[in-house]
Amino acid sequence: MPIAIETATVPTRFLPSPELVEASLYETLKGLDALPSRAVQRMRSRPATETDARLLDCDVGAPMLIVERRCFLPSEQIVEFSETRYRGDVYDFVVELRR
């Protein structure tokens, strides 16, 4: 069962070719000295589009969780932008916060 669609965008100055990525984007970026040092994430909900419904085997209009992430180098350059679209009916997120 498909559970999410993820699209990651990395500028070619940091990742000259997508074929360089084998098992892990972040391991590849680490080897290219372009590992992010921080990220900002935005989470929101929206209904599934026709494309989402086709790829995720859900109904058009079904609830989805959308996570956008911008990853930064220590120099504050954006090294990655990703969007992950999760089916809302197959996830249960738990977050622990500590002081």
Q: How is the chain split into domains, by residue range? A: 4-87
Contact 57, 90 (CB under 8 A): no
Radius of gyration (C-alpha) of the chain in whole angstroms: 16
Q: How far apart are CA 27 and CA 14, in angstroms?
A: 13
Query: For 5-19, what is each residue's pLDDT tens digit?
Result: 999 999 999 999 999
**Architecture of the domain defined by 4-87:** 3-Layer(aba) Sandwich (3.40)
What are the two backbone dihedrals, phi and then psi, of residue 86, each rounded to the nearest 5 degrees?
Answer: -100, 140
Express each pLDDT in 68-96 by its tens digit: 999 999 999 999 999 999 998 888 888 89
Q: Which neighbouring-strand residues pair with 45? A: 65
Question: Could you count the other beta carbons within 10 Å of the beta carbon of residue 21?
Answer: 15
pTM of the model: 0.83
